[in-house]
Amino acid sequence: MTEIHLNEPELLSLELFRVALSEPTEEARLHAIDVMRHEVSGLSLESFPIFKKGDGQQQNSPDFVHWVAETSADRREAAHQYAGIAQRYQKKNERKLNVAEYIGKHVWQTIQEQRYQGVQVPGGILEQVRNVARELGVTGAKDEDTVRKIWKSYRGVVHLGMAMDFCEDHPRSGLNVLHVAERIRQGLSKHCPKGTSKPYIEPSEQISFLYISEC
């Protein structure tokens, strides 16, 4: 399992990290996460009048100004790479991630109901999702083989988007998105389909997001 620690500004930009998870491989996702960190830093810097003083503003420390200048080239390169990630997300990766998260919700439901239904067995969750996709005309999810490939590629990261959707649907719950995501992640990796000893998702395939306080 790969752990990603997020600070406060990054916690407020989870949608960017979900976009990073839409990349098709773990290597690409981890690189995209680094790109998103630069993007969050760039957005945060817009709040700092780095070279201005007056009107009650305090001058930034020389170390901070030096860091901004030293890392500006990295942020420019990251901004260029961000554009490519966002374009791939909008063209095809968002749909795939959405399909995988939809499958993940079905798996989570069968765990909550203690039915522990199989995923790839005849009549299982993938077949059910394919049938729904055919009824709704969902592009790219009408074929069971395609759905199977999407699930295999994205199953280790579906918990973040699932948690974001849950918290959005329950705004008054006061739940922490990362806490919900971690609960889902652990559930998906601890429980097994009925009659098997292999979990729905191997922990080694998962990316876990954790919050760290900078205080």
Residue 215: per-residue pLDDT: 47
Give backbone dihedrals phi and psi of 71, rounded to 5 degrees, phi first: -100, 5
So what's the pLDDT on residue 58? 54
In degrees and rounded to multiples of 5, residue 6 shows phi and psi of -110, 140
* pTM for this predicted structure: 0.86
- Name residues whose C-beta falls within 8 Å of residue 198's C-beta, 6 or more positions apart in sequence: 192
pLDDT (0 to 100) of residue 212: 82
Range of the domain at 165: 2-211
What does the pLDDT average to over 165-191? 95
| Tally of structural domains, the chain | 1
Q: What is the pLDDT of residues 30-70, one digit of tens each?
A: 999 999 998 888 776 555 555 455 555 555 555 544 445 55
Res 172: pLDDT: 86
Largest separation between any pair of C-alpha atoms in the chain: 70
Given a contact cutoff of 8 angstroms between Cβ atoms, the answer to whether 200 and 192 are in contact is yes
Token pair for 33: 């996460």
